[in-house]
């Protein structure tokens, strides 16, 4: 078990689940696989801010074919509306998806409800193809059936932070992924 060095940033962290080196190696693999599969198709790579930012930038630099890049941003409806997985687009894509080969990149898929909602929205825009690449997968909590074309790692059934994943906006810029101690987790804010 690796414990991160103690300092102000790492307070509240438990075990490191995936190290910087492990993440780098896996992201390079994914980039190679995507480059091979999408050769000649000039795909549109789409990410949802903000969690995906480090994965997206490392993955893109591991892809050696021409691609285009776009982002969307969402905010989740919480208990008030009760609409499970319903999200509001706070920033839409700038590129048209019509007849494009779209690769949707996610940081982590947990219940899959957010993504399932987004995929319905995106499919309606008439892409030539639409595939999903997630760095982290938490299959234990899945409530929606998500077709995953590329998957980096499975995650334990724990709340983790780092490499883009936050807890109340903290810890996103850790270069590795670590568990939070139960004390630091408190009442889990899942976004």
User: Catalytic site residues?
Assistant: 110
In the bound state with ligand IMP, the residue whose beta carbon lies nearer, of 60 and 119, is 119
Could you say whether residue 162 binds ligand IMP (CB under 6 A)?
no
Query: 108 in helix, strand or coil?
Result: strand
List the x/- string, 105-134, binding to ligand IMP by CB under 6 A. Answer: --xxxxxxxxx-------------------
Least separation in angstroms between residue 180's CB and Mg ion is: 13
Could you say whether residue 190 binds ligand IMP (CB under 6 A)?
yes
180 close to 159: Cβ distance less than 8 angstroms: yes
Q: How far apart are CA 65 and CA 32, in angstroms?
A: 10
**Which residues, numbered 118-137, are part of the site for Mg ion (CB under 5 A)?**
none
* Cα torsion 38, 147, 135, 120: sign: positive
Look at residue 160 and give the partner it binds from Mg ion, ligand IMP, none, a contact being a CB closer than 5 to 8 Å depending on partner kind: ligand IMP
Write out the E strands in 3-67.
13-18, 44-49
Question: Is there a cis peptide before residue 50, judged by omega within 30 degrees of 0?
Answer: yes
Look at residue 109 and give the partner it binds from ligand IMP, Mg ion, none, a contact being a CB closer than 5 to 8 Å depending on partner kind: ligand IMP
- Cβ neighbours of residue 73 under 8 Å, at least 6 residues apart? 48, 49, 50, 89, 90, 91
Could you say whether residue 102 binds ligand IMP (CB under 6 A)?
no
Q: From the CB of residue 43, how many other CB atoms can be counted at a distance below 10 Å? A: 23
Q: How far is it between the farthest Cα atoms of the chain?
A: 50
In the bound state with ligand IMP, the residue whose beta carbon lies nearer, of 65 and 73, is 73
Q: How far apart are CA 18 and CA 31, in angstroms?
A: 18
**Which residues, numbered 154-183, are part of the site for Mg ion (CB under 5 A)?**
166
> Under rule CB under 6 A, how many of the chain's residues touch ligand IMP?
17
Could you say whether residue 152 binds ligand IMP (CB under 6 A)?
no
Could you say whether residue 51 binds ligand IMP (CB under 6 A)?
yes
Binding site for ligand IMP (CB under 6 A): 51, 85, 107-115, 159-161, 165, 190-191
């Amino acid at each position: 078990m690796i414990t991160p060095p103690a300092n102000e940033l790492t307070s509240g962290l438990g075990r490191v689940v995936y190290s910087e080196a492990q993440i780098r190696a896996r992201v390079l693999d994914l980039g190679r696989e995507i480059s091979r599969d999408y050769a000649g198709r000039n795909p549109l790579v789409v990410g949802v801010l903000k969690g995906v930012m480090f994965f997206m930038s490392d993955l893109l630099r591991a892809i050696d074919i021409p691609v285009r890049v776009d982002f969307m941003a969402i905010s989740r409806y919480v208990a008030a509306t009760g609409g499970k997985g319903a999200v509001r687009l706070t920033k839409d894509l700038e590129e048209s998806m019509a007849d494009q080969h779209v690769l949707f990149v996610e940081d982590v898929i947990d219940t899959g409800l957010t993504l399932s909602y987004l995929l319905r929205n995106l499919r309606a825009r008439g892409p030539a193809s639409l595939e999903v690449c997630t760095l982290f997968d938490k299959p234990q909590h899945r409530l929606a059936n998500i077709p995953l074309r590329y998957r980096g790692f499975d995650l334990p059934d724990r709340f983790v932070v780092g490499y883009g994943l936050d807890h109340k906006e903290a810890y996103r810029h850790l270069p590795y992924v670590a568990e939070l101690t139960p004390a630091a987790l408190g009442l889990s804010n899942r976004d």
